[in-house]
Every structure is written in C-alpha cells, then in structure tokens.
Structure 1
Amino acid sequence: MKESLDKELKKAKRKSAKPMLWVSMISMTMMFAGLTSAYVVSRKRSDWVSFDLPNAFYISTTLIVLSSITFFLAKNFIKKNNRQLTTVFLVSTLILGVGFVFFQFEGFKELFNAGLVFAGEKSTVKSSFIYGITLAHLAHIFAGLIVLLVVLYNHFNKKYSSVDFLGLELGAIFWHFVDILWIYLFLFFYFIR
C-alpha cells in the first residue's frame, strides 16, 4: 500500500515538474520585461548618458551560448546512455557558466573604471540600469549553477539514464532559459542606447 502511494506521488510530482518550471520562467520573464520597459522609458530623461557595453560582456555572451550547447549535448548523450560524454559536457557547462560569471564581473570592473558606477553622485541612469538588470540576471545564473551542481551530483550518483533523465532535462531547460534571457538583455543593451 505504502509503496503504491509513493509511486503515485512520485508520478504526480514528475508530471507537475515541467509546468511549474514554465510558470516560474514566465514570471521571471515578466520581471525582466518590466525592468527593460523602465529602461526604455528612462532613456527620454535629460540626464541619460549613452556608452558602449564593456568588452567583457561580449566574451561572457559567447561563453553562455557555448554552455547551452554543451548542456544540450549532455542531454543528448544521457539519452544514449553515454555517461562518459554526459559527464564531459556537464562539467564543460559548469566551467563555461563560471566563466560567464567571471566575465560579467570583469564587465562591471570595466564600467567602474570608466567612471560608470551603480549608485551615488557619479552614477548615471543608464549605468544604474545596466548594473541592476545584470545583477538580477546573475542571481538567476547563480541559481542555474546550483541546479547544475545538483544535476552533476545526481549524474555522478547514477540517477539519470536513457529512460529517466527528468532532473537533467529540467536543469537544461532552466539553463537554456537564462542563456536566452542574457542574449535578449545583451542585444537589448546593445541596440537600445
């Protein structure tokens, strides 16, 4: 009886996992839509100062795109029960994700060295928005890195196989989401000056 109930609960949990993830990603999208809308409206202010994006943001963008490719490959290889290549691509995703975070902070350093600060007398409306929106995205990247560490932990404990890889799949969906979100933000900042 208890075993049957546990199976039903596990089945219900698995069935609701993806829809819950999609709902949370939609709410995150709405938050960033609001932030970027405020950025657009604020561009009309008389104290708006335009400047180029830091070079480090270009590097971080490349790294996060590559990390999505490696996570995609990891998912494909677990479907084929190739644990070794799954491991290689999951670890690659983690390294690229950490590299993304590193270059985001390098971008902040470039902004700071150019006299563009987040808050205070020397801050500009645009620099405050770029810092704020990018830091909000970084919070989601940190969540993604934690998810990735959990996926790696479960992978090393052989919880995923070609017939049961839901956790890895959910992690990949979230990672691709933060990747697409950054590409949107990067292009937004690049074109909406």
Structure 2
Amino acid sequence: MALKKTEGTQFKMHPQKFAMWLFMVSVVMLFAAFTSAYVVKQSSGVWLDFDLPFMFDITTGIVVLSSVFMHLAYHYAKTNEIKKLKTFLVLTAITGFAFLAGQLIAWQELINDGVFFVGNPAGSFVYVLSGLHGFHLVSAVIFLFIVVISAFKYKVHSKSLLRIEMCTTYWHFLGGIWLYLYLFLTLNH
C-alpha cells in the first residue's frame, strides 16, 4: 500500500487506491458473512454430504500460477522490460479465463453428482461462494484488459505504474480470497 508521509503524522494515498482498498474491505466482509452463514446453517443438521469437485483443486493451482504471472508482469513494468510485461499480462489473462472455465466445469461436476443450486443449503453455498468469487474475478479480468491495452500502447512502465499496481493488488487479493474459500470449503465439508 503506497502510503506517503506528509507533514506531521498524516499519510497520503492515491484516491483510486484508497477506493480500491475500501472496496476490498467490503468484499472481505461479504465473504466473511457468507462463510459465517455457512457454518451456522451447517450446524442446523440438514446438510447434504458430497465431495467437492476435483476441478476446484485444479483451479486453485491455476490461481497460484496466475498470481505468479501477475507478479512477474508487475516486476517487468517496474524494470521497463515491456516485451516481458506484455507476455506475462497476457499469460495472466489466459490463466484468469482458465480459472473461470474451470469453475464452470466444477459446477458441471456438481450437477453430474446431483448437487444443485436449489434443494440443499450445502450445494447452494458452494454455488454462491464460487459464483460470487467468479463474478469478482470477471471484474478483475476486465481491469486486467484495461492494463493489457495500456501496456500495448506503451502506457505502463516504471514511470506509470498506478494501473498495474492496482490491478496486481486486486488480482492477488482475489487469489487470496479463492485460497481462503478453497480451504474453508475443504475443511468445513
């Protein structure tokens, strides 16, 4: 978080970064509320026991790989290695789409196993948690495309890092949210 100390004890942050951090705090609260509701509802006793889709394991690996690609893109932006920056931004986008496609495949696995959105809260929560995360990832992919277009127009480099810094932060944040959800669902299933 790029806080700059000014006079006295005041800190200054770019307004767009501040807004993004506020948004991310609200997303954390949203997922905390849903996972808390999951725990409360699970204790009610009417809970369908089923295996999580194997595709969740694969998409978790994709998330980690995607974060590595995004981190490398950011690094290459800071060092003005524009060709590598573009390459790793494109790889990040590809892995982002792969994650979303994997989530759809995971939902198909759930349907094939007789786990539906309606019927039992256990299935509903899995769809809601993974779908809500997927929705946020779509927003990150859109943001990523803005950064990719900027990079191809040579507007992302060591002297112009705001967009890629924000995109990187948001991308890693969503990766962390997925890791939390994956562990939560695995341990509370």
Above 0.5 in TM-score? yes
1:26 maps to what in 2?
25
Q: Does residue 166 of structure 2 align to residue 166 of structure 1? A: no
Q: 2:134 aligns with which of 120, 128, 138?
A: 138
1:154 maps to what in 2?
150
The one-letter code matched in structure 1 to 2:96 is G
Paired-residue identity, %: 36
Q: 1:185 aligns with which of 167, 181, 184?
A: 181
SS of residue in 2 equivalent to 1:163? coil
CA distance in 2, matches of 1:82, 1:74: 9
Higher helix share: 1
| TM-score where L is the length of structure 2 | 0.91
Query: How far has the Cα of 1:50 moved from its partner?
Result: 2.1
Gaps of 5+ in 1: 1-13
The one-letter code matched in structure 1 to 2:88 is F
The one-letter code matched in structure 2 to 1:187 is L
RMSD across aligned positions (CA): 1.3
Count of residue pairs the alignment pairs up: 178
CA distance in 2, matches of 1:44, 1:164: 51
CA distance in 2, matches of 1:41, 1:152: 42
Gaps of 5+ in 2: 1-12
The one-letter code matched in structure 2 to 1:26 is V
SS of residue in 2 equivalent to 1:53? coil
CA deviation digits over 1:148-188, x for unaligned, max 9?
10010111111111121110110111111110000000000
| TM-score where L is the length of structure 1 | 0.90
CA distance in 1, matches of 2:137, 2:14: 25
Q: Which consecutive segments of 4 or more residues in structure 1 shift more than 2 A?
A: none
